[in-house]
């Protein structure tokens, strides 16, 4: 009877940690959505709206970081009964936090550009990259939500993340190649920031795919 009660306690602890992780991915997706909104505003010449989206993004990213800390505290209360699961879940929430960090860094690049004119081709490609990143985030969220309910569907969702990440990578390479064309007409400092901007978007996509790998591992433990 005592062993059964202990197992129930551990299951409850794990469920609470997963609930926090699901809240964290929701906030992480919010940062991605706000980045996409900022890029769309830039492409439409709406600098004030872009600034508002970025300011909100910074606040939401702080929430992502807070939730990561809450998951760590929750899992520190668990015992060795599910030590492997706990370790994998810790890796997952760390990656969600890092994903939001990359999104925040991309937003900082937009902020640094200020009113600087940006080549139209670059903004169009970047809007598309951030749109795909939003899709990637939603696929990741759906996958995490299925962890407790349907592990097989969680794995399928993780595979979708991998596919979208591949599409983002293709746009990343396309945008990099475009630098050769408009580079001579753009200030060197601006070029560095534009390069950093798409690097951070691509790194966020990579982190989403890396997080999806841990969802597959966690699903196999369910």
Return the HEC string of 64-93: HHHHHHHHHHHHHCCCHHHHHHHHHHHHHH
Rounded Cα gap, residues 26 and 8, in angstroms: 27
Q: Give the model's pLDDT for residue 9.
A: 43
Which tens digit of pLDDT belongs to each residue from 192-218?
999 999 999 999 999 999 989 888 887
Contacts of 180 (CB under 8 A, 6+ apart): none
Rounded Cα gap, residues 58 and 60, in angstroms: 6
The average pLDDT across 84-102 equals: 85
Name the percent of the chain lying above pLDDT 90: 50
Which tens digit of pLDDT belongs to each residue from 48-64?
999 999 999 999 999 99
**Spacing of C-alpha 160 from chain mean position:** 14
Handedness of CA 213, 19, 22, 28 (dihedral sign): negative
Is residue 24 over pLDDT 80? yes
Q: Give the model's pLDDT for residue 70.
A: 86
The average pLDDT across 179-195 equals: 89
For 215, other C-beta atoms within 10 Å of its C-beta total 23
Task: Give residue 10's pLDDT band: very low, low, confident or very high (50, 70, 90).
Answer: low
CATH of the domain at 192: 1.20.58.220
Q: How many structural domains are present in the chain? A: 1
Task: Give residue 3's pLDDT band: very low, low, confident or very high (50, 70, 90).
Answer: very low
Rounded Cα gap, residues 220 and 222, in angstroms: 6
User: 141 is in which domain, residue-wise?
Assistant: 2-221
In order of 15, 54, 208, 217, the CA distances from 220 in angstroms are 16, 38, 19, 5
């Amino acid at each position: 009877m005592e062993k059964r009660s202990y197992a129930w306690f551990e299951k409850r602890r794990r469920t609470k940690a997963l609930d926090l992780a699901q809240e964290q991915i929701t906030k992480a997706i919010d940062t991605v959505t706000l980045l996409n909104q900022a890029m769309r505003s830039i492409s439409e010449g709406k600098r004030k709206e872009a600034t508002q989206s970025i300011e909100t993004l910074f606040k939401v990213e702080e929430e992502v970081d807070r939730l990561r800390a809450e998951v760590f505290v929750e899992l520190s209360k668990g015992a060795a009964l599910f030590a492997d699961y706990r370790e994998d879940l810790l890796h997952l929430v760390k990656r969600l936090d890092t994903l939001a960090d990359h999104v925040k860094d991309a937003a900082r690049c937009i902020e640094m550009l200020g009113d600087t004119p940006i080549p139209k081709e670059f903004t169009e490609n970047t809007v598309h990259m951030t749109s795909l990143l939003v899709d990637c985030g939603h696929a990741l969220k759906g996958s995490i939500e299925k962890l407790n309910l349907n592990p097989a569907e969680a794995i399928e969702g993780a595979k979708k993340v991998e596919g979208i990440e591949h599409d983002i990578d293709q746009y990343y390479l396309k945008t990099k190649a475009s630098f050769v064309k408009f580079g001579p007409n753009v200030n060197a400092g601006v070029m560095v920031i534009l390069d950093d901007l798409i690097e951070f978007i691509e790194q966020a996509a990579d982190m989403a795919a890396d997080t999806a790998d841990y969802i597959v591992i966690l699903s196999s433990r369910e």
